[in-house]
């Protein structure tokens, strides 16, 4: 569904009127090309400015990754070590001078060695000097150390401060720019590739103001750096006949996976059309049915005899009513389909040994499960339970070298949101830092990042795809 205000505010007449009246002017977001393997890498930032506080231990790894991603870089004046690291890695070296009119597409700051709140001044200095020069749809990344791993209480306090800084900074950025915080454990210094590939590209268009933790990878594999990182892998996507599920299937197929598209029997026609277009396979199956696990396992025995690499629990329903008007059936069906069925499928696939080492499980939660929503006690409970499932299963699955994460979409432009009353729909679109709704592909790109073979340092994470919605955390 088109966003008429977004189009109007960026037209010649609309932009003048919006400026005169002081109305918001959300910027159309840059997104990845969706067709053709040759285009799958998409554009990369033409220039990054890099800085760091104190010893900045991640600079060497960042220089290497920027080189692999083809991103040239300049050093902030206070970052003495960057030029040496950049020269060694083969990236462009030199000092950033805002007076020269350079407009960087990315700002990267290593704050992981900052050990006191006084030392946070380096953070202020870097961004105070660089923010005004940012290009449209730019990316800001701050790197920290997980606070519980800091050596002193003072260092832990300073590292925890980064989250408040980044979330606030994200709300100050304009023209489609986003900001994220990546807490990086020492064991994950060599596991930055997939996250930088995601956050420095249009793949992360609608992810904003997030705090992500990279920990010791659950499986040690060399990073995949080609345009089709899922080549040779098998992915299952439930609820794949339309909307977000269809977008997830398309992006995973674009990245090289054979996608098993699953949806209810009444959606068999569009389901088969999606699977045929992607050269995948279709399975018409009610995931909440008593034979769902056996049916899926039988299908995989034919289409994935070596095992499954990616499992995306996308299927879900809503049955909205205030609690006093909600029937028992409406309560039970939402909880069972949205979170009961995914847990049963997890158990069955694990018991059958179908989930391979280094496989990825991704659940689709919702900001409703974080912030709550009137008339959605059943739905919000189910989506909070998806988050609980991820947090509870992560340590158990890590022992089997499997990761599990979740995405929590905000207002996404789908058939469901198109049916929302106009005033509520407009509020949903505008109540975030980017001033617009997201697209199904934004959810899909985030899942593809979590499914990447080099994303083993990510597990137990819940990533909001909401443009930094003003609702919830």
In a domain, 223, yes or no: no
Q: Confirm if 464 and 410 have CB atoms less than 8 A apart.
A: yes
Out of 214, 247, 281, pick the residue that ends a domain.
214
In a domain, 42, yes or no: no
Do both 257 and 171 map to the same domain? no
Q: Confirm if 466 and 432 have CB atoms less than 8 A apart.
A: yes
* Residue 468 Ramachandran class (φ > 0 left, ψ -120 to 50 alpha, else beta): left
Higher pLDDT among residues 191 and 2, named by residue: 191
Task: Please tell me the distance from the alpha carbon of residue 343 to that of residue 168, in angstroms, as a whole number.
Answer: 36
Do both 328 and 450 map to the same domain? yes
Sign of CA dihedral 113, 119, 125, 131: positive
pLDDT, residue 38, reads 41
Task: Please tell me the distance from the alpha carbon of residue 164 to that of residue 162, in angstroms, as a whole number.
Answer: 6
Determine the structural domain holding residue 433 and report its residue range.
234-465
Do both 276 and 398 map to the same domain? yes
In a domain, 33, yes or no: no
Do both 160 and 253 map to the same domain? no
Task: Please tell me the distance from the alpha carbon of residue 468 to that of residue 174, in angstroms, as a whole number.
Answer: 13
Do both 59 and 195 map to the same domain? yes
Task: Please tell me the distance from the alpha carbon of residue 210 to that of residue 212, in angstroms, as a whole number.
Answer: 6
pLDDT, residue 40, reads 44
Q: Confirm if 441 and 389 have CB atoms less than 8 A apart.
A: no
For 141, phi then psi, to 5°, come to -125, 125
Do both 261 and 366 map to the same domain? yes
Structural tokens at position 365: 């939660």
Model pLDDT for residues 190-211, shown as the tens digit of each residue: 999 999 999 999 999 999 999 9
Q: Confirm if 181 and 144 have CB atoms less than 8 A apart.
A: yes
Higher pLDDT among residues 325 and 414, named by residue: 325
Task: Please tell me the distance from the alpha carbon of residue 273 to that of residue 323, in angstroms, as a whole number.
Answer: 38
The residue-averaged pLDDT of 442-450 equals 98
Cα–Cα nearest to 143, from 58, 229, 244: 58
The residue-averaged pLDDT of 349-368 equals 95
Q: How far is CA 256 from CA 199, 233, 280, 310, 435, in A?
A: 20, 7, 11, 12, 33
Range scoring the smallest mean pLDDT among 79-93, 113-127, 347-361: 79-93
In a domain, 62, yes or no: yes
Q: How far is CA 34 from CA 29, 301, 311, 441, in A?
A: 15, 30, 21, 9
Task: Please tell me the distance from the alpha carbon of residue 193 to that of residue 380, in angstroms, as a whole number.
Answer: 34
Out of 151, 186, 214, pick the residue that ends a domain.
214
The residue-averaged pLDDT of 6-23 equals 68
In a domain, 22, yes or no: no
Higher pLDDT among residues 83 and 229, named by residue: 229
- Which CATH number belongs to the domain containing residue 206 in this structure? 3.40.50.720
The residue-averaged pLDDT of 58-76 equals 92
Out of 182, 214, 246, pick the residue that ends a domain.
214
Q: Confirm if 383 and 338 have CB atoms less than 8 A apart.
A: yes
DSSP-derived 3-state class of residue 156: helix
Do both 348 and 436 map to the same domain? yes
Do both 173 and 270 map to the same domain? no
pLDDT, residue 243, reads 95
pLDDT, residue 26, reads 81
Cα–Cα nearest to 309, from 360, 352, 259: 360
Model pLDDT for residues 234-244, shown as the tens digit of each residue: 999 999 999 99
Banded model confidence at residue 79, pLDDT cuts 50, 70, 90: confident
In a domain, 198, yes or no: yes
Task: Please tell me the distance from the alpha carbon of residue 292 to that of residue 37, in angstroms, as a whole number.
Answer: 33
Banded model confidence at residue 426, pLDDT cuts 50, 70, 90: confident
Is it the case that residue 37 has pLDDT exceeding 50?
A: no
In a domain, 26, yes or no: no
Model pLDDT for residues 39-62, shown as the tens digit of each residue: 444 455 679 999 998 889 999 999
Neighbours of 383 (CB within 10 A): 28
pLDDT, residue 5, reads 64
Is it the case that residue 435 has pLDDT exceeding 80?
A: yes
The residue-averaged pLDDT of 69-97 equals 81
Do both 432 and 383 map to the same domain? yes
pLDDT, residue 14, reads 65
Higher pLDDT among residues 171 and 225, named by residue: 171
pLDDT, residue 407, reads 98
Q: How far apart are the first and last CA of the chain?
A: 27
Tally of structural domains, the chain? 2
Do both 291 and 147 map to the same domain? no
Do both 144 and 272 map to the same domain? no
Highest averaged pLDDT of the listed ranges 64-73, 98-107, 172-181: 172-181
Q: Any catalytic annotation for residue 379?
A: yes
In a domain, 327, yes or no: yes
The residue-averaged pLDDT of 401-411 equals 96
Banded model confidence at residue 122, pLDDT cuts 50, 70, 90: very high
Do both 363 and 268 map to the same domain? yes
């Amino acid at each position: 569904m088109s966003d008429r205000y977004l189009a109007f505010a960026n037209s010649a007449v609309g932009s003048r009127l919006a400026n005169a009246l002081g109305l918001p002017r959300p910027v159309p977001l840059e997104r990845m090309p969706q067709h053709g393997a040759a285009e799958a890498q998409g554009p990369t930032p033409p220039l990054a400015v890099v800085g760091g506080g104190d010893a900045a231990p991640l600079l060497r790894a960042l220089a290497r990754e920027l080189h692999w991603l083809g991103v040239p870089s300049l050093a902030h004046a206070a970052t003495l070590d960057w030029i040496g690291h950049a020269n060694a890695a083969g990236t462009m070296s030199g000092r950033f001078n805002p007076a020269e009119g350079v407009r960087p597409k990315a700002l990267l700051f290593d704050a992981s060695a900052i050990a006191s709140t006084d030392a946070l001044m380096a953070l202020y200095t870097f961004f105070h000097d660089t923010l005004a020069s940012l290009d449209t749809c730019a990316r800001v990344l701050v790197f920290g150390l997980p606070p519980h791993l800091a050596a002193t209480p003072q260092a832990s306090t300073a590292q925890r401060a980064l989250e408040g800084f980044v979330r606030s900074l994200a709300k100050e950025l304009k023209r489609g720019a986003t900001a994220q915080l990546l807490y990086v454990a020492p064991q994950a210094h060599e596991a930055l590739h997939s996250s930088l590939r995601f956050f420095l590209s249009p793949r992360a268009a609608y992810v904003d103001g997030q705090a992500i933790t990279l920990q010791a990878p659950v499986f040690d594999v060399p990073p995949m750096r080609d345009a089709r990182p899922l080549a040779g892998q098998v992915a299952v996507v439930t609820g794949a006949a339309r909307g977000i599920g269809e977008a997830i299937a398309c992006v995973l197929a674009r990245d090289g996976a054979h996608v098993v598209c699953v949806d209810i029997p009444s959606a068999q026609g569009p389901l088969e059309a999606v699977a045929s277009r992607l050269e995948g396979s279709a399975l018409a199956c009610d995931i909440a049915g008593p034979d769902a696990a056996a049916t899926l396992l039988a299908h995989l025995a034919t289409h994935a005899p070596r095992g499954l690499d990616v499992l995306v629990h996308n299927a879900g329903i809503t049955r909205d009513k205030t609690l006093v008007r909600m029937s028992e059936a409406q309560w039970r069906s939402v909880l069972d389909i949205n979170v009961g069925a995914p847990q049963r499928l997890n158990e069955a696939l694990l018991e059958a040994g179908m989930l391979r080492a280094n496989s990825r499980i991704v659940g689709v939660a919702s900001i409703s499960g974080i912030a709550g929503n009137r008339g959605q006690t059943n739905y919000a409970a189910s989506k909070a339970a998806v988050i609980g499932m991820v947090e509870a299963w992560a340590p158990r699955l890590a022992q089997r070298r499997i990761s599990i994460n979740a995405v929590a979409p905000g207002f996404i432009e789908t058939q469901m949101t198109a049916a929302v009353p106009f005033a509520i729909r407009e509020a949903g679109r505008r109540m975030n830092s980017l001033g617009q709704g997201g697209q199904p592909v934004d959810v899909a790109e985030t899942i593809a990042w979590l499914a990447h073979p080099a994303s083993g340092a990510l597990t137990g994470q819940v990533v909001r795809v909401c443009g930094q919605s003003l609702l919830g955390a």
